Structure 1
Amino acid sequence: MLVAMAIDGVLGWPGSLYARIGHPVTWLGRLIAALDKSWNRDHDPPWRRRIAGVFAALFVVGLAGALAFALQIAIGSGWRQVLLVGVLAWPFVALRSLHEHVAAVAGPLQAGDVAAARQAVSMIVGRDPSKLDEAGIARAAIESLAENTSDAVVAPIFWGALFGLPGIVAYKAINTLDSMIGHRDQRHEWFGWAAARIDDIANLVPARLTAVLFALLSARPAEALGCMGRDARHHRSINAGWPEAAVAGGLGVRLCGPRIYHGVLADEPWLNGGARDPRPDDVASALRLYVRALIGCAGLLVVVALV
């Protein structure tokens, strides 16, 4: 996992490589889309669609994990396995991409170019960017950074550290299933039920580990830990509230709160509600905290490896 983090930190996933072969997550996405199209039939009753969704989730995760397990066995053991599994795990760790996407919001926001910041933030959040003012854009970017640090970096590394290549690949299959079909819309309310539940379980420990890293490595660790304990459980997600609350307390800003999705107001509770709204410079501060959290994560891996 340290090898995977190092490669992604230096290279990311180059555009030329994506143009040539795509990305393993897009391969998983095509499989999930095909199952959604063929197994999630509108005329089926809800119970049948839920069962179909359970089988679809188990099939995707099982197939991905089995292929990864076969590859890891074929590689052998020792330093050869460490290096090759690290290379194969590299595409499933998106630490550089996450930094780049949030930095693309921070730059124009600090320069006062709200229109460009809105365009950049629309690439990483689902809420309506046209309704966001400067503080709303900063809030959306920081929330996305906090939540995706868990989903896109810490969680895959956590499961990879436990189970090697099968762990990280199976987790990414779970996370991709949730992002594609784990929605409470009319089409996926039943078919995506299993995908959403499995993703919740897979992120229980990583989300809280991410929150602790953020809190302890922030400039305000006591406030961050206090905000986690007080506000995280009020978030609509059983997992995302933890890293978001830690960052809110660590930066001394309020996050979450009411927002508009697809023209509908979602009256979400505030995290660290007594604090001020985030400013453009707070997005840059969040990115610096993100880097410290990654260094802390790498340090934990070193300790685990030595133990």
Structure 2
Amino acid sequence: MAVAMMVDALLGWPAALFARIGHPVTWIGRLISRLDRDWNRSGDTPLIRRLAGLAAALLVIGICVGAGWIVQGLLPSGWSSILFVGLLAWPMVALRSLYDHVDAVAAPLQADDIDAARLAVAQIVGRDPATLDEAGIARAAIESLAENASDGIVAPMFWGALLGLPGIFGYKAINTLDSMIGHRSERHLRFGWAAARIDDVANFIPARLTGCLFVLVSSRVTKALSCMVRDATRHRSVNAGWPEAAMAGALGVRLSGPRSYHGHVIAEPWLNETARDPQAADLRQGLRLYVRAMLVLGGLLITLALA
């Protein structure tokens, strides 16, 4: 898993490679889309749609876990296996991609180009970008950075370190299922119910580990820890509140709060409510905190490997 992190930090997922073969997540996504189209029928009863969604989720996860198990079983033993597993796990890590996407928001925001920053933040969050001022853009990007550090790096590394390729492939299937069908839209409220619950379970430990990593590398350890412990459970998500609250305390800003989706304002509670609103400089500081946390994670993986 440390090899996968190092390769992704250096290369990301090259655009030329994506143009040629796509990406494993897009392959999983095509399977999920096909099952959603064929099995999620509006005329079925709520129970049937829940059972169909459960069957779809188990099928996708089973295929990915099985593929990882078969491939890992075919690899040679010894040090060469570490290299091969690392290279095969590499596409499942979003280390470089997450940094690049958030940096693409930070750069125009620091240059006071609000329109460009809105376009960039719209690539990583679902809220209405036209309603966001500087603080709203910075807040949205920081929240995305904190949550996706868990979903995109810590969680796949956790399951990969625990179970190898079956673990990291299976987790990526779970995460992709949740992002595609695990939301509360009319179409997916029942069909995606199982996917969302499975994702909650898979991310339970990694989300809390991510929060602890942010606390550990913060220059405001006590405040980051107290904010995480106090406010994490106020978040609408059982998991996302932990890294977001830790990030809010570490940066000394408030996150979450009311936001607009498709013209509707959703009243969410604040994390670190009495703190100030974030600005462009805080987003840049958040990226530095993220880099330090990922370096510590890589160091922990190497330490575990050599223990």
Q: Fold-level match, TM-score > 0.5?
A: yes
Cα separation, 2, equivalents of 1:226 and 1:185: 34
Cα separation, 2, equivalents of 1:78 and 1:190: 46
Deviations 1:16-65 (A, max 9, x none): 00000000000000000000000001100000000000000000000111
Match of 1:267 in 2: 267
Match of 1:205 in 2: 205
Aligned AA (1:285): Q
Cα separation, 2, equivalents of 1:214 and 1:31: 35
Match of 1:45 in 2: 45
Cα separation, 2, equivalents of 1:49 and 1:87: 38
Cα separation, 2, equivalents of 1:73 and 1:200: 29
Cα separation, 1, equivalents of 2:284 and 2:215: 17
Match of 2:178 in 1: 178
Aligned AA (2:146): A
Match of 1:222 in 2: 222
Post-superposition shift, 1:76? Answer: 2.6
Matched, 1:187 2:187: yes
Deviations 1:140-162 (A, max 9, x none): 00000000000000000000000
Matched, 1:107 2:107: yes
Counting only pairs closer than 5 Å after superposition, residues 122-271 of structure 1 correspond to structure 2 as: 122-271=122-271
Cα separation, 2, equivalents of 1:61 and 1:132: 37
Cα separation, 1, equivalents of 2:77 and 2:184: 43
Cα separation, 2, equivalents of 1:258 and 1:126: 14
Cα separation, 2, equivalents of 1:114 and 1:28: 35
Q: TM-score, normalized by length of structure 2? A: 0.99
Cα separation, 2, equivalents of 1:35 and 1:300: 38
Post-superposition shift, 1:260? Answer: 0.5
Counting only pairs closer than 5 Å after superposition, residues 56-67 of structure 1 correspond to structure 2 as: 56-67=56-67
Deviations 1:163-182 (A, max 9, x none): 00110000000000000000
Aligned AA (1:256): S
Cα separation, 2, equivalents of 1:77 and 1:165: 14
Post-superposition shift, 1:305? Answer: 1.1
Deviations 1:165-220 (A, max 9, x none): 11000000000000000011110011000000000000000000000000110110
Match of 1:35 in 2: 35
Cα separation, 2, equivalents of 1:208 and 1:246: 10
Cα separation, 1, equivalents of 2:243 and 2:34: 33
Matched, 1:116 2:116: yes
Which portions of structure 1, spanning 4 or more consecutive aligned residues, are displaced by more than 6 angstroms?
Answer: none
Cα separation, 2, equivalents of 1:185 and 1:145: 24
Give the unaligned 5+ runs of structure 2. none
Q: Indicate the SS of the match to 2:164.
A: helix
Cα separation, 2, equivalents of 1:280 and 1:205: 31
Cα separation, 1, equivalents of 2:295 and 2:244: 19
Cα separation, 2, equivalents of 1:152 and 1:304: 21
Q: Indicate the SS of the match to 1:260.
A: strand
Match of 1:303 in 2: 303
Aligned AA (2:59): F
TM-align CA RMSD = 0.5
Q: Indicate the SS of the match to 1:20.
A: helix
Give the unaligned 5+ runs of structure 1. none
Alignment: residue pair count: 307
Cα separation, 1, equivalents of 2:50 and 2:250: 40
Post-superposition shift, 1:302? Answer: 1.6
Post-superposition shift, 1:306? Answer: 2.1
